[in-house]
Each structure stands twice: as structure tokens, then as C-alpha cells.
């Protein structure tokens, strides 16, 4: 009986209430269509503050699509329509009067392929703050250093801040992109397979970094790599065919999943 009890309360809810926090992100019966094709079916997912939530599942299962609904990057894709709601900090981000620019300042995003701008390392980091109106050189210098330190990149680049960011290695570029996001001081950082283009060593560094960032940020990470989800996340959500099959504490998902499909996926029977 006791076991069924545990199953009924959503585990992320349990984790959140034990930390005494509110959910920062709540997706409620979210449907998403690309034209006529329905990519997400009634997604319900609550994400707690200052935790790492991993979204796993086979290619095309909708995990990246879902991630992109959280900062409305799907708005850029033509023909996308959305039903249901996503609440961030209690506010439905699909409300008509929501300022998308402000939303994206609060919900940063790191992409699959490192995408530094073709400018210097310094300018890459200062880009966001500058666009948001910070002009003072001393303040920008401070932000750049702080962000690069947070992203564990400062020591490697401090002597060449003014050379092109495109000269960095792939792993460094990705950490630069993370630093660039941190420079605008978001509350939530979305990561869309951030290590899939990196070698194992660079991957390890990014993972360590993500673990550090958990102290200050809520992180939602999409990953193809199940070991990665197991290593770094607190909560894991398994997507299949545009639906969430199961969301639970990561250790439970990987040792004792509730659903057969989850078990089949993590043991490598498909995907």
C-alpha cells in the first residue's frame, strides 16, 4: 500500500515540496501542432526550481519541441500552433500580453551546436547585456568576467578576450554560449542536447558546469545520452511519440521505472 501511495504523488511534486519550493515551470495539457501534424499531446510537466530536469526519449519524440515551447522559440517556426498553457512563475507565457523578449531574458537557452557570434569573446558575452541597455565599460567588463568564471572558461580565455570566439574549440565555444546566457542573468536555462557536438572530455566539462549551475539556476536539459541524464539530473522525464510516458526521480527511472516502455528504452531495446 505504501508503495502505491508514493506512486500517486507526482515525484517531482514530492521533490519540490521536500525542498519547500514552488514549481517554477508548469506545463498543462499542452498540445503543439506543426500545421496538421500534432507533435505534442497533452503534456503535463511540473519543473521545480534549482533542479536539473532531463528530458529523454528517441529522436522525434517531441522533447526538443517541448523544450522550445518554454521560451517560445517555436514562435519562429511557421505554422506552429499551441493549445494548453505553460506557466512560468505562475504566469501563462502564451497569454496575449506576454512580452516574448522579456520572457527569453528570463529563460535562457543553449543550443545543440555551439553558436557563438562572429565577434570577439568579450563582445559575445557583452552582447546580451549591451542589448539590454548596459553601456558602462566597467560594468560590462565585470559581467564578462563573472559570466566566464561561472562557465569555468575564464582561466582559458582571459588573455585573449578580444580575439574571435570562432577560434575556440568546440567545447570552449559551448561553454562560451553558456556564459553568454548567464550574462543576462536568467532564472531558467534550457539546454537542447548541449554536448551532442562535443568530444567526451569537453562533454565532461560541460556536465560538471551544469552541475555547478544548479546552485543558482533551474535547468531543463534535453539529451540523447542516457548516461548523461543519469549522471546529472534530479528528475527525468521520458518522452515517446509526443507524450510523456513517465516523469520521476532520476535514480528511480534508471533503476526501477514504472512503465514497461521506459524500461525498454533505457535498456536499449529501441531508440
In angstroms, the Cα distances linking 165 to 60, 161, 210, 240 are 32, 8, 21, 37
**Cβ pair 86, 94 in contact under 8 A:** yes
Span 56-95, contacts to other proteins by CB under 8 A: 71, 73, 76
Which of 94, 50, 90 shows the shortest CA–CA distance to 71? Answer: 94
Nearest distance from residue 180's CB to other proteins, in Å? Answer: 7
CA gyration radius, the chain? 19
What is the rounded distance in angstroms from the CA atom of residue 67 to the CA atom of residue 74? 9
Residue spans of alpha helices (H) in 83-199? 100-106, 121-131, 137-150, 154-157, 170-182
Stretch of 27-35, 117-125, 201-209, 234-242 lying at the interface with other proteins (CB under 8 A): 117-125
Q: Which of 60, 81, 91, 113 binds other proteins (CB under 8 A)?
A: 113
Residues 271, 57 contacting (CB under 8 angstroms):
yes
Q: Would you count residue 102 as binding other proteins (CB under 8 A)?
A: yes
Quick one: which of 62, 128, 171, 242 contacts other proteins (CB under 8 A)?
128
Of 72 and 262, which CB lies nearer to other proteins in the complex structure? 72
Stretch that binds other proteins, among 1-9, 22-30, 178-186, 238-246 (CB under 8 A): 178-186
33 touching other proteins, by CB under 8 A: no
Nearest in space to 148 (alpha carbons), one of 173, 117, 180, 174: 180
Judge contact between 174 and 153, C-beta under 8 A: no
Q: By C-beta, is 11 or 129 nearer to other proteins?
A: 129
How do beta strands 23-34 and 80-88 pair?
antiparallel
Closest distance to other proteins from the beta carbon of 176 (Å): 11
Least spacing, CB of residue 67 vs other proteins, in Å: 11
Residue of 61, 67, 177, 198 interacting with other proteins (CB under 8 A): 177
Among residues 111, 80, 81, 85, which one has the least CA distance to residue 98? 85
- In whole angstroms, the minimum distance from the beta carbon of 142 to other proteins comes to 18
Minimum distance of other proteins from residue 116's CB (angstroms): 8
CB 189 within 8 A of CB 50: no
Q: Interacting stretch for other proteins, rule CB under 8 A, among 7-15, 59-67, 89-97, 98-106?
A: 98-106
Work out whether 140 is an interface residue with other proteins (CB under 8 A): no
The reply to whether 101 sits near other proteins by the rule CB under 8 A is yes
Which stretch of DSSP H or E encloses residue 132? none
Which residues would be at the binding site for other proteins (CB under 8 A)? Answer: 71, 73, 76, 101-106, 108-109, 111, 113, 115-119, 127-128, 131-132, 177, 180-181, 184
Amino acid at each position: 500500500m505504501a508503495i502505491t501511495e508514493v506512486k500517486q504523488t507526482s515525484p517531482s511534486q514530492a521533490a519540490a515540496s521536500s525542498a519547500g519550493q514552488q514549481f517554477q515551470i508548469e506545463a498543462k495539457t499542452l498540445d503543439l501542432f506543426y500545421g496538421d501534424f500534432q507533435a505534442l499531446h497533452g503534456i503535463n510537466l511540473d519543473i521545480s526550481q534549482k533542479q536539473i530536469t532531463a528530458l529523454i526519449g528517441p529522436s522525434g519524440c517531441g522533447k526538443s519541441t517541448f523544450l522550445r515551447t518554454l521560451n517560445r522559440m517555436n514562435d519562429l517556426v511557421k505554422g506552429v500552433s499551441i493549445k494548453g498553457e505553460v506557466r512560468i512563475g505562475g504566469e501563462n507565457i502564451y497569454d496575449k500580453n506576454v512580452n516574448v523578449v522579456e520572457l527569453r531574458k528570463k529563460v535562457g537557452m543553449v543550443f545543440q551546436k555551439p553558436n557563438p557570434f562572429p565577434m570577439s569573446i568579450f563582445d559575445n558575452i557583452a552582447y546580451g547585456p549591451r542589448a539590454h541597455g548596459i553601456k558602462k565599460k566597467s560594468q560590462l567588463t565585470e559581467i564578462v568576467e563573472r559570466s566566464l568564471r561561472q562557465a569555468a572558461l575564464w582561466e582559458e580565455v582571459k588573455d585573449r578576450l578580444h580575439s574571435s570566439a570562432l577560434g575556440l574549440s568546440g567545447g570552449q565555444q559551448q561553454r562560451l554560449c553558456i556564459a553568454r546566457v548567464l550574462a543576462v542573468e536568467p532564472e531558467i536555462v534550457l539546454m537542447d542536447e548541449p554536448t551532442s557536438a562535443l568530444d567526451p572530455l569537453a562533454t565532461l566539462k560541460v556536465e560538471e558546469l551544469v552541475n555547478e549551475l544548479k546552485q543558482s539556476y533551474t535547468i531543463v536539459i534535453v539529451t540523447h545520452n542516457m548516461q548523461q541524464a543519469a549522471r546529472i539530473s534530479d528528475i527525468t522525464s521520458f518522452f515517446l511519440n509526443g507524450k510523456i510516458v513517465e516523469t520521476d526521480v532520476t535514480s528511480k527511472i534508471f533503476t526501477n521505472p514504472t512503465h514497461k516502455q521506459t524500461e525498454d528504452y533505457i535498456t536499449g531495446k529501441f531508440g
